[in-house]
């Protein structure tokens, strides 16, 4: 089944403790992206990648890092999480005709 898989689905962590949210796609898509969803703000793009080793900042990149060492994986790294990064995160991949999204990771930073 074609899908985008992100883990974990839920995560509660403390301020400053580094964490990684993993994302993997099995559709051989070139494009991948991370979004966060917040009430009243919709989906805002954090980072995106056009291919292996090619990444760029989206609209809200501060406090996040990404890497694209393999085509199928695009992890999101929070080096020092803060409470304002509490949000619902979505990974997505695309073949240039619109993104396919994962099921989301709800992150709470206390």
Query: What tokens appear for 110 in the block?
Result: 């206390």
Residue 85 Cβ vs other proteins, minimum distance, rounded to whole Å: 19
Residue 9 Cβ vs other proteins, minimum distance, rounded to whole Å: 9
Query: What tokens appear for 62 in the block?
Result: 């501060």
Residue 15 Cβ vs other proteins, minimum distance, rounded to whole Å: 26
Cα(18)–Cα(26) distance, integer angstroms:
27
Q: Are 43 and 90 in contact (CB under 8 A)?
A: yes
The reply on whether position 71 binds other proteins by CB under 8 A is no
Q: Are 33 and 91 in contact (CB under 8 A)?
A: yes
What is the SS3 assignment for 83? helix
Site string for other proteins, 6-45 (x = CB under 8 A): -------------------------xxx-x----xxxxxx
The reply on whether position 100 binds other proteins by CB under 8 A is yes
Binding site for other proteins (CB under 8 A): 4, 31-33, 35, 40-45, 48-50, 56, 58-59, 90, 92, 94, 96-104
């Amino acid at each position: 089944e074609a899908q985008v898989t992100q883990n974990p689905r839920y995560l509660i962590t403390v301020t400053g403790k580094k964490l990684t949210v993993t994302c993997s796609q099995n559709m051989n898509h070139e494009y991948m992206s991370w979004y966060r969803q917040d009430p009243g703000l919709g989906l805002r793009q954090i980072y995106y990648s056009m291919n292996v080793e090619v990444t760029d900042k989206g609209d809200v990149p501060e406090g996040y890092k990404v890497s694209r060492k393999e085509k199928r994986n695009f992890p999101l790294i929070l080096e020092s999480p803060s409470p304002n990064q509490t949000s619902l995160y979505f990974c997505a991949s695309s073949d240039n005709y619109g993104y396919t999204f994962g099921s989301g990771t709800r992150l709470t930073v206390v």
